[in-house]
């Protein structure tokens, strides 16, 4: 019996894993499972699995969001965050059974808990007003929160800062993220940081005397896109700056002895296109070294997808012998788990042509639990012991995968017209027959400094299921192919990157005789939306296009986007007043009169990254020119609509995309 084609609603049936956490003795691990409940809302719960067991056990229940499980050093308890009381708060759960106990009742919530090495303290972050008292925090009731929202909606928003809005958080206020210590024995709270800056917790030293934080504590922080590392003396609260104030540094971890610090970051040599590096700071000598200076791939997980929900560890993580560091790196469309010695010797620990989205390392047993996604399997966990084959621990989404037919991507490599090597993938349509002709859809990723890769992508599979050949590539500007490649589109949007995409279409049309050149479509979001707009203004070879959360006018983008005031300079070399003509020349809106391709514009009403006025300008201009265009506005949706937006809105979005292509292709 043949399997059925995947459907629009199928992403709501998926179970998505994240954040594996090995126990201190290395015998079991906890993780987060996110699903869509019967209210069509996301819910996440904690699960645990013994490494000698074949099944998982559920630790939390209900339709709330439970996440960030962290084992106590003795393994007897897990602290986690949950919004079951209304806003995220910290809860403590005994690992041998019993009910969870609520630890915090902070008005604005408490997040990202971690343990001190002796298990006496829990460190967490809380958003506070300058005069808030952490010893007297009271959680608002549902009615009180509703009343507060209503009162706030009646007041005008007074804006004094450049950074006054965020796509993730909406309009910002004067509250700042502070570091709080909770003493479990005394049941008391101590505020470690204060002032008009955000403080991001990184790690605590083995002896508990020092805490690492990341942030920008300068007076010019409102005008800067930088992040430095600092230490805080837990006794005196004295803050010491470790890095030079000339870059972005983060994810810092003490070695087990506390003598060294490993961290990620870069000096912004290529602005937002700079490869992430691995640094070591020696506390005794205050010497800083870069372990990755000879590598040509970025650290971290930079694969774009639409089914990753929840954060996971990317590294750096110290080994037991304190002479090695583990991390995830992005290279050539895959992410791998790597090991590097302090002498710079690099080794791949897990490389199976897939997407490693997270891992956990246990120093006692010297073993890993690795989270992996592939194009035909959303997620699973694997046990990886030193010098041993990986053993699959979970079999997630088995029922779903047993009943649907998924397309395995075919790798392609080709030469662009100017000789550059470019890499991509091709999905054949559901029910593929060699002697038939099929329409093709070109997908363009956002960023632009991310990469498509070997991960599960529901939208791609859906288009293949609808009978389309799907082409997705990593044009210049994408990560995973070296510093020169990722930097190649900066100051040159719509040139080499556009050429790469057209070369990809040329290659596929010439190589695969089942592709119907008369029925080509194109779509993309964010930078991919910009590129879709650019494409239809520069060629008529596509018979239909769908532009999503796009950019049409770099002049107005500068002032309306939450990143526009620095993004234009970083990516194009110009701010608004520097060279408005240059920004207009690379704005798709300038070429609206050349558009002959029927265009569907999709945009979220609450998108502050690429605000909806970008879609409005394009729609009004094209409509005024009597072009074939339609505009769909998604209420309450921000820039993350396609990835973590409300499930019902995600369904609507996909239905509009397939409707448009079905009509014209």
**Residue 380 pLDDT > 60:** yes
- DSSP conformational letter for 26: S
CATH number of the domain at 407-570+598-664, please?
3.40.50.1820
Q: What is the pTM of this model?
A: 0.97
User: By C-alpha distance, which of 154, 190, 197 is closest to 174?
Assistant: 197
Residue-level pLDDT at 11: 95
Partnered with residue 356 across adjacent β-strands are 372
Distance CA 112, CA 310 (A): 12
**Residue 537 pLDDT > 70:** yes
Residue-level pLDDT at 34: 97
Partnered with residue 317 across adjacent β-strands are 326
Residue-level pLDDT at 97: 84
Model confidence at 388, in pLDDT bands (50, 70, 90)? confident
Residue-level pLDDT at 498: 98
Q: What is the DSSP string of 132-159?
A: --GGG--PPPHHHHHHHHHHHHTSPPP-
Residue-level pLDDT at 73: 97
Residue-level pLDDT at 411: 97
**Residue 404 pLDDT > 90:** yes
Distance CA 549, CA 610 (A): 6
Structure confidence by residue, pLDDT tens digits, 47-106? 999 999 999 999 999 999 999 999 999 999 999 999 999 999 999 999 998 899 999 999
> What token pair was written down for 28?
């079991």
Residue-level pLDDT at 115: 98
Residue range 158-183: average pLDDT? Answer: 94
**Residue 453 pLDDT > 90:** yes
Cβ within 8 Å of residue 166, ≥6 positions away? 172, 562, 608
Q: What are phi and psi of 195, to 5 degrees?
A: 100, 180
Give percent of the chain with pLDDT exceeding 90: 97
Residue-level pLDDT at 98: 87
- DSSP conformational letter for 428: P
**Residue 467 pLDDT > 80:** yes
Structure confidence by residue, pLDDT tens digits, 477-493? 999 999 999 999 999 99
Structure confidence by residue, pLDDT tens digits, 268-300? 999 999 999 999 999 999 999 999 999 999 999
Structure confidence by residue, pLDDT tens digits, 638-662? 999 999 999 999 999 999 999 999 9
Distances (CA, A) of 211 to 70, 155, 180, 602: 18, 39, 11, 45
**Three-class SS of 440-486:** EEEEECCCCCCECCCCCCHHHHHHHHCCCEEEEEECCCCCCCCHHHH
Q: In the block, which residue shows the tokens 């072009």?
A: 627
Distance CA 278, CA 298 (A): 9
What are the sequence ranges of the domains in the chain? 407-570+598-664
Residue range 234-255: average pLDDT? Answer: 95
Residue-level pLDDT at 2: 86
Distance CA 606, CA 336 (A): 35
Which sequence positions are flagged as catalytic? 526, 639
Task: Answer for the pair 555, 612: CB distance below 8 angstroms, yes or no.
Answer: no
């Amino acid at each position: 019996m043949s399997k059925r084609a995947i459907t629009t609603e199928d992403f709501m049936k998926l179970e998505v894993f994240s954040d594996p956490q090995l126990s201190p003795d290395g015998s079991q691990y906890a993780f987060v499972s996110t699903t869509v409940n019967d209210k069509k809302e996301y819910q996440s719960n904690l699960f645990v699995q013994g490494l000698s067991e074949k099944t998982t056990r559920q630790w939390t229940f209900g339709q709330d969001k439970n996440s960030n499980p962290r084992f106590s050093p003795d393994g007897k308890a897990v602290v986690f965050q949950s919004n079951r009381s209304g806003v995220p708060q910290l809860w403590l759960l005994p690992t041998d059974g019993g009910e969870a106990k609520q630890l915090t009742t902070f008005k604005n919530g408490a997040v990202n808990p971690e343990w001190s090495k002796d298990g006496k303290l829990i460190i967490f972050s809380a958003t506070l007003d300058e005069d808030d008292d952490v010893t007297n925090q009271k959680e608002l009731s549902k009615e009180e929160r509703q009343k507060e929202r209503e009162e706030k909606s009646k007041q005008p928003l007074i804006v004094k800062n450049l950074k006054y809005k965020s796509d993730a958080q909406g309009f910002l206020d004067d509250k700042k993220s502070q570091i709080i210590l909770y003493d479990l024995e005394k049941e008391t709270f101590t505020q470690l940081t204060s002032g008009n800056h955000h403080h991001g917790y990184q790690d605590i030293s083995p002896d508990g005397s020092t805490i690492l934080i990341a942030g920008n504590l300068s007076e010019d922080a409102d005008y800067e896109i930088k992040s430095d590392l600092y230490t805080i003396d837990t006794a005196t609260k004295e803050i010491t700056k470790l890095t030079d104030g000339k870059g972005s540094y983060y994810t810092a971890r003490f070695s087990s002895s506390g003598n060294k610090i490993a961290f990620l970051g870069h000096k912004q040599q290529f602005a937002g296109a700079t490869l992430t590096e691995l640094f070591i700071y020696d506390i005794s000598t205050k010497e800083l070294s870069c372990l990755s200076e000879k590598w040509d791939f970025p650290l971290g997980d930079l694969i774009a997808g639409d089914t990753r929900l929840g954060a996971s560890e990317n590294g750096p993580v110290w080994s037991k012998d304190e002479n090695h560091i583990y991390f995830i790196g992005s290279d050539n469309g895959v992410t791998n788990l790597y090991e590097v010695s302090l002498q710079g010797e690099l080794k791949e620990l897990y490389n199976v042509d897939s997407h490693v989205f997270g891992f956990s390392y246990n120093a006692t047993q010297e073993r890993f639990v690795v989270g992996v996604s592939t194009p035909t399997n959303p997620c699973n966990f694997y046990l990886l012991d030193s010098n041993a084959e990986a053993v699959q621990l979970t079999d997630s989404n088995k029922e779903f995968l047993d009943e649907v037919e998924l397309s395995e991507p075919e790798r392609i490599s080709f030469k662009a017209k100017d000789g550059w090597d470019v890499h991509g993938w091709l999905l054949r349509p559901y029910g593929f027959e060699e002697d038939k002709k099929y329409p093709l859809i070109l997908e363009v990723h956002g960023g632009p400094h991310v990469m498509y890769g070997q991960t599960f992508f529901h939208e791609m599979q859906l288009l293949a299921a609808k009978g389309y050949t799907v082409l997705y590539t990593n044009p210049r500007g994408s990560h995973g192919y070296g510093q020169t490649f990722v930097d190649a589109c900066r100051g040159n949007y719509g040139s080499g990157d556009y050429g790469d995409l057209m070369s990809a279409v040329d290659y596929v049309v010439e190589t695969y005789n089942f592709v119907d050149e008369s029925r080509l479509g194109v779509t993309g979001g964010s930078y991919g939306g910009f590129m879709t707009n650019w494409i239809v203004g520069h060629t008529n070879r596509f018979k239909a296009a769908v532009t999503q959360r796009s950019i049409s006018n770099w002049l107005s983008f500068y002032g309306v986007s939450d990143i526009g005031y620095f993004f234009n300079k970083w990516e194009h070399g110009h701010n608004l007043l520097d060279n408005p003509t240059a920004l207009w020349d690379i704005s798709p809106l300038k070429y609206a009169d050349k558009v002959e391709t029927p265009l569907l514009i999709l945009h979220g009403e609450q998108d502050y990254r690429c605000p909806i006025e970008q879609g409005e300008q394009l729609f009004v201009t094209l409509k005024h020119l009597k072009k074939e265009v339609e505009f769909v506005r998604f209420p309450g949706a921000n820039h993350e609509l396609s990835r973590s937006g409300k499930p019902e809105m995600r369904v609507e979005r996909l239905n509009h995309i397939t409707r448009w292509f079905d009509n014209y292709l």
